[in-house]
Structure 1
Amino acid sequence: MLCGLLRKQTIWLRGNGLRTCQISPMTRCQSGIVGGSHPLHNYDQGWRSQENLSVCFKPYRCSIVPLCSPFVSGSSQSRTVYSSACLSAASTGNTGSAFGWYESLADTAPVNLAESMLISLHETSGMPWWANIICATVSLRTTITLPLSVYQMYILAKVENLQPEIDALAKQLRYEVSVYGKQHGWTDKVARFQFRKNLRRIISGLYVRDNCHPFKASLLIWIQIPMWIFVSIALRNISLNRADSATGDAVQKQLTEGGLLWFPDLTMPDSTWILPVTLGLLNLLIVEIFALRKIELSRFQKIITNFIRAVSIAMIPIASTVPSSMALYWVTSSCVGLAHNLLLRSPALRRVFRIPRSKSDSDTPYKDILSAFVLKYFPKK
């Protein structure tokens, strides 16, 4: 059992009398006295507020327990409040709050919404849980992230088409700065500064003119990553009977029998490592398809690409320790992402979505990807 410093208990005292008690409930804790607290005293018109912070974490969600009967010891001038908290933590001294942020995130509205969506879909469709997770993942990725992927492709194509104009203007600007610098005796450092400053201004003007600022292309990331996190935590909650639902026990029991093939129990990790390794390979494949584009990657893009490669490899051992329901969701999400990536390279589909044609476009994109992959990893000697 882990104890941190999250539960907030406030006791208002006037003189020696206990007046009111307010708490922010978290979970059911065993009755016990936790020493070593540090009350915070605030005085306002003779009233004293003592705030004692404590929390009890359990590996499952528990009901709310009122803590309005604390042990109060000492004189009225210097009282220490000992609240009901984790008895085992008092004996072991484990009062860290390393997992406090996760517990707070696991009980947020988006996570609760994801839990309700998954449970409602299962109850409505009657599908086994493995099919329910796959169906929910495909639906979310298709209805939310696919339109954002199309918009990202649209923005990136317009930015790419601006590059020849940017190059021409940069060449002209470099000449003008060189002439003006010689006339006014600029040093090379000042000339470079003026060139970069004015080039940024010109590029920003072009982005505004064509309404294609590259930051808009990152909208997909800002939506997809939080959604991935919320659904992952929701699956963990219902797998470990921590879901914000009155049917938590029943749902967890269904998950223990709702798996498929080599992972029949969705509440347990995949001991065969098939799902984790598949996840890593899929993510690496997505990264490589991006890296095999005709466009030369910038230094920053190369750094990001290598970072994502490292994350993809690191996700393999992580996926081997989480419930199979989470690993299945991650694998399905990566499969859908790979499918979207390949579909949006189709010239016909790009025309349907009105994505501008750019220099890097190909009439045979899949053949080009395969050729580039073979040339990079299986070069002829």
Structure 2
Amino acid sequence: MFRSAILRAGKVPSRATFQPQLIRFQQSAGAGFVGIRFKSSDSSSVADAAADVTSKLSEIQTQLPSFDESTIEAVSQLGQAVGDASNQIGYLSSIGMAKSWLWPPDLIQNVMEQVHVYAGLPWWATICVTTVLARVLLFPLYVKYSDTLGRTSRIKPEMDKVNADLMSCSDTTKAQQIAMKRKKLLSENGIKNRYLLVPVVQIPIAISFFTSIREMCIYPVDGLATQGIAWFQNLTLADPYLGLQCLTAAMFVALARKGGESGAQQFSPQMKKVFTFLPILTIPVTMNLSAGVVLYLAVNGVCSMIQTLLLRSESARKFLNIAEVVHHPTPANQGPQKGVFESFRENIQKARDQAEKRATMKENDDKMKDLAKKEKENQRIKIVRKK
């Protein structure tokens, strides 16, 4: 700064020339250096000022605290304490999760915390074990579901005829008789329709798993960022190679080819095509989800595939006393098989016709009730004759 001023002036400058640079130097040096005076006529004043600045800076540096080994050890112990807290029961409730054992997402978080702490498993293994545990608990219901489908396949021609008669009937009395016949047919073959709702039961369970794991990954829970495996070490981030997404899609495609989770469902060729391409579309949909969430989907798909192969095995069906699936030939008068959209339109039309018939039947019932009521009132009327 001072050298440039001397070069521009071509001679030793006066104090007025050095005054602006002196003020800026004092402001930048700090309040401790304000008292230093420069004499422009003395050539050693600049060197003295520089020596004073150097001494002041060395004094400030000696006053700064140094991070010795004890400080570093304290910081590491603090981090270890936080990690130990995440391995204790109640850690999830302390951060606002797993607050109840009744609400399904909180219930799943509580179960995962119990497995993680008492089994000492990393988080990727905890998610896998909890998913398999849920599938094991649902397996008896799927056995009943597969048995119901097998028993229903035995009487499929009779059931189709009864359902067609019930759909075409417009008389209330006759419809009730057909419904009783259908109920008797189901009872004689040991068929209970309530087991057909088993796949619906899995929907809220899957949603609860998705919600709970996603919440844990978003927070994120301590350990999820480091306790992954293989190529997805961080469970809070998306799978960088889409390996879990592709595995999930492959499992569900194979599941549709093998007859669903019961191993006894009979899909038409058109429906098999739909179930083949639909899981592939889920890959771009789930590509931004956390690896922990997609890990649950992949493990759930693998469990479904193993369950399907088990329920398709003849020895397993005999051991579990599951009825065999009977494949009936297609009637000759049925014609070529219809497409998916055509069958959908036909089902909508049938439902519309059935709703109109039910409305007509209800109107006729109301008329019959009105006539019966009037007839009952007329029976109470007595004709009195005068003598």
TM-score relative to the length of structure 1:
0.52
Give the superposition deviation at 1:152: 0.5
Instruction: Pick from 268, 276, 280 the counterpart of residue 245 of structure 2.
Output: 276
Give the whole-Å Cα distance in 1 for the aligned partners of 2:103 and 2:296: 20
Give the superposition deviation at 1:237: 1.2
In the TM superposition, 1:202-217 aligns within 5 A as 202-217=181-196
* 1:134-175 C-alpha deviation (Å, 9 max, x unpaired): 111111101x221111011111111111225446x769x98x
Name the amino acid aligned to 1:218.
L
- Give the conservation status (yes or no) of the 8 Å contact 1:159–1:213: no
**Structure 2: any 5+ residue segments left out of the alignment?**
1-92, 329-387
Q: Which residue in 2 is equivalent to 1:267?
A: 236
1:240 aligns with 2:218: yes
In the TM superposition, 1:92-241 aligns within 5 A as 109-142=103-136, 144-166=137-159, 201-219=180-198, 221-241=199-219
Instruction: Pick from 225, 238, 245 the counterpart of residue 256 of structure 1.
Output: 225
Instruction: Pick from 324, 327, 333 the counterpart of residue 357 of structure 1.
Output: 324
Give the superposition deviation at 1:302: 5.6
Q: Which residue in 1 is equivalent to 2:301?
A: 334
Flag the 1:218–1:324 CA change in 2: closer, same or farther, 3 A: same
Give the superposition deviation at 1:335: 0.2
- Give the conservation status (yes or no) of the 8 Å contact 1:279–1:331: yes
Flag the 1:294–1:353 CA change in 2: closer, same or farther, 3 A: closer
Instruction: Pick from 264, 286, 294 the counterpart of residue 319 of structure 1.
Output: 286
* 1:190-216 C-alpha deviation (Å, 9 max, x unpaired): 799999886555333312343414452
Flag the 1:149–1:302 CA change in 2: closer, same or farther, 3 A: farther
Give the whole-Å Cα distance in 2 for the aligned partners of 1:107 and 1:120: 12
Give the whole-Å Cα distance in 1 for the aligned partners of 2:304 and 2:264: 20
Q: Which residue in 1 is equivalent to 2:310?
A: 343
Name the amino acid aligned to 2:131.
T
Identity %: 20
Give the whole-Å Cα distance in 2 for the aligned partners of 1:311 and 1:265: 28
- Give the conservation status (yes or no) of the 8 Å contact 1:266–1:324: yes
* 1:66-116 C-alpha deviation (Å, 9 max, x unpaired): xxxxxxxxxxxxxxxxxxxxxxxxxxxxxxxxxxxxxxxx99811111111
Name the amino acid aligned to 1:229.
I
The alignment partner of 2:324 has SS state of coil
Flag the 1:294–1:63 CA change in 2: closer, same or farther, 3 A: closer
Flag the 1:295–1:308 CA change in 2: closer, same or farther, 3 A: closer
TM-score relative to the length of structure 2:
0.51
Give the whole-Å Cα distance in 2 for the aligned partners of 1:112 and 1:334: 23
Two-structure CA RMSD over aligned residues (Å):
4.0
Give the whole-Å Cα distance in 1 for the aligned partners of 2:228 and 2:173: 63
| Structure holding more helix per residue | 2
- Give the conservation status (yes or no) of the 8 Å contact 2:108–2:209: yes
| Structure holding more strand per residue | 1
Give the whole-Å Cα distance in 2 for the aligned partners of 1:227 and 1:353: 25
Rg: which structure is higher? Answer: 2
